């Protein structure tokens, strides 16, 4: 991504002036609310199956529509936030997120409208992940330990994903108006977050922005770490979450009859809750392992995927809980490790763009439940999950090989 003459120095000066250890706090509620809106739909899949009669293919397609909004969002919002500023883009994301909840609440029996609502929710989460993560990074003191900004952003998003799903699932299971009340709560949260966001300080004043697309070229010295650490691990971040959210609850559907929404909610909260807990320790894990936290994450992921493959045959509720905890821990380690790597290899002006590329790679895996459901007439869950487990182990071995072959840690890239 080319640098606009004069803009880089102004932005750098502004960022230096506003960095302090608490300046990111007003941004956190907005990230939390945007993440809440993105994941509140997930535990309601069982509700749509039971109350609206949607089949597995339909509900998993609605889950995948979220990715349809996310991936283009990752490509677009980085350049847009460089042109219009962080604050403007996050405020626009809040509006889009609230609109998505309104659509989901108004048309539970219309799959096309639900799909549009999910698409808008995905775009709003792209704003949170790209612009919000960059903004938190810029508001974090340079003297903070390595990984602090990545941990702050990832933990805030993870808490939003987890608590949003937990509240929505509980309201759907036990409160009146299960099709409406969860989304109404999110709209009120968005309004509150928008009020708090007024106190956030801009770190990139609006100005002439770069081109619309992200320059994906990396300095030669950083390509190895991107190709061997980021690329093999990123798609598993949300592939694991998708397995825990959508596939595992379906495997124990008969064993949880009468509490299907509640159990799906429990697995979602356990997955994201364990991820949020371990994220706090990822920077320390990197120091202890010699910056091999990505390898630890993908290895843990492989264990979790193997547990899901076993669950296909045993249909055990306790094993489902264990699988969710393992997959969640792997998610937490891997997403922070990936953000740390992106910060190391991205030049300052390219941080939003490369962050978007990383998140786009992570969300490739979120479409996994829809793919597995579509293949069910041809390939059962037993075969498909066994193949997935083998692929995850292969990615872990590739990451280990890449670390052994080189790719030393270096400081953030700079370009002429």
Quickly list DSSP for 140-168.
S-TTSPTTHHHHHHHHHHHHHHHHHHHHH
How far, in Å, CA of 88 to CA of 95, rounded? 11
277 within domain boundaries: yes
| Least confident window among 31-45, 101-115, 272-286, 339-353 | 339-353
Looking at residues 124-137, what average pLDDT do you find? 91
Higher pLDDT, 107 or 18: 107
| Least confident window among 127-136, 142-151, 153-162 | 142-151
How far, in Å, CA of 97 to CA of 189, rounded? 11
User: Do 7 and 207 contact (CB within 8 A), yes or no?
Assistant: yes
Burial of 198 (0-12, 13-18, 19+ CB in 10 A): exposed
List the structure tokens of 224. Answer: 């190895």
User: Do 238 and 129 contact (CB within 8 A), yes or no?
Assistant: no
How far, in Å, CA of 105 to CA of 111, rounded? 12
How far, in Å, CA of 330 to CA of 358, rounded? 17
5 within domain boundaries: no
4 within domain boundaries: no
54 within domain boundaries: yes
List the domain range (segments joined by +) for residue 235: 15-205+218-405
pLDDT at 195 over 90: yes
Which of 288, 285, 295, 282 is closest to 405 using CA atoms? 295
User: Do 8 and 204 contact (CB within 8 A), yes or no?
Assistant: no
**pLDDT tens digits, one per residue of 305-343:** 999 999 999 999 999 999 999 999 999 999 888 888 887
> Domain containing 318 — which CATH number?
1.20.1250.20
pLDDT at 13 over 70: no
* Phi-psi map region of 291: left, alpha, beta (phi>0 left; psi -120 to 50 alpha): left
**CA 206 vs CA 11, 13, 18: distances in Å:** 10, 14, 16
Which of 23, 122, 120, 34 is closest to 71 using CA atoms? 122
147 within domain boundaries: yes
10 within domain boundaries: no
Quickly list DSSP for 35-51.
HHHHHTTGGGHHHHHHH
How far, in Å, CA of 199 to CA of 220, rounded? 40
pTM of the model: 0.72
210 within domain boundaries: no
Looking at residues 80-93, what average pLDDT do you find? 90
411 within domain boundaries: no
Mean pLDDT rounded to a whole number for the chain: 82
DSSP symbol at 32: H
How far, in Å, CA of 300 to CA of 271, rounded? 13
**pLDDT tens digits, one per residue of 259-312:** 878 888 889 889 988 988 898 888 888 889 888 888 999 999 999 999 999 999
Q: Return the pLDDT at 348.
A: 59
How far, in Å, CA of 331 to CA of 355, rounded? 17
Q: Which H or E element spans position 267?
A: helix 260-279
pLDDT band at 10 (very low <50, low <70, confident <90, very high): very low
* Residue 123: other Cβ atoms inside 10 A: 24
The number of domains in the chain is: 1
**pLDDT tens digits, one per residue of 214-233:** 444 555 656 777 888 888 99
């Amino acid at each position: 991504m080319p640098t606009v003459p004069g803009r880089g120095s102004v932005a750098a000066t502004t960022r230096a002036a506003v960095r302090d250890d608490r300046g990111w706090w007003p941004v956190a509620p907005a990230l939390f609310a945007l993440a809440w809106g993105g994941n509140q739909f997930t535990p309601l899949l069982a509700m749509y199956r039971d109350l609206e009669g949607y089949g597995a293919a339909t509900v998993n397609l609605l889950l995948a529509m979220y990715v349809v909004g996310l991936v283009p969002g990752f490509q677009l919002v980085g350049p847009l936030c460089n042109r219009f500023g962080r604050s403007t883009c996050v405020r626009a994301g809040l509006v889009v997120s609230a609109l998505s909840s309104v659509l989901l609440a108004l048309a539970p029996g219309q799959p096309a409208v639900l799909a549009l609502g999910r698409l808008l929710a995905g775009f709003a989460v792209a704003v949170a992940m790209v612009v919000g993560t960059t903004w938190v990074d810029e508001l974090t003191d340079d003297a903070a330990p390595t990984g602090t900004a990545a941990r702050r952003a990832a933990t805030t998003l993870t808490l939003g994903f987890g608590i949003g799903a937990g509240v929505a699932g509980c309201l759907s299971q036990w409160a009146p108006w299960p099709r409406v009340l969860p989304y109404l709560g999110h709209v009120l949260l968005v309004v509150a977050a928008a009020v708090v966001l007024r106190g956030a300080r801009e770190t990139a004043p609006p100005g002439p922005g770069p081109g619309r697309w992200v320059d994906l070229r990396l300095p030669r010295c950083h390509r190895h770490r991107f190709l061997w650490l980021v690329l093999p691990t990123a798609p598993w971040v949300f592939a694991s979450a998708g397995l825990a959210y959508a596939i595992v609850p379906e495997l124990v559907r008969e064993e949880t009859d009468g509490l299907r929404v509640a159990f799906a909610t429990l697995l979602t909260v356990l997955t994201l809750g364990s991820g949020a807990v371990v994220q706090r320790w990822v920077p320390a894990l990197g120091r202890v392992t010699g910056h091999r936290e990505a390898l630890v994450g993908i290895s843990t992921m492989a264990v979790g995927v193997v547990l899901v493959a076993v669950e296909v045959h045993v249909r055990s509720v306790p094993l489902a809980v264990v699988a969710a905890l393992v997959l969640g821990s792997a998610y937490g380690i891997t997403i922070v490790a990936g953000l740390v790597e992106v910060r190391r290899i991205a030049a300052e002006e390219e941080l939003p763009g490369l962050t978007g590329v990383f998140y786009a790679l992570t969300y490739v895996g979120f479409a996994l439940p829809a793919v597995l459901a579509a293949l069910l007439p041809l390939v059962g869950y037993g075969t498909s999950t066994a193949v997935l487990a083998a692929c995850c182990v292969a990615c872990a071995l590739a990451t280990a090989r890449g670390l052994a072959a080189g790719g030393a840690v270096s400081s953030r890239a700079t370009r002429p």
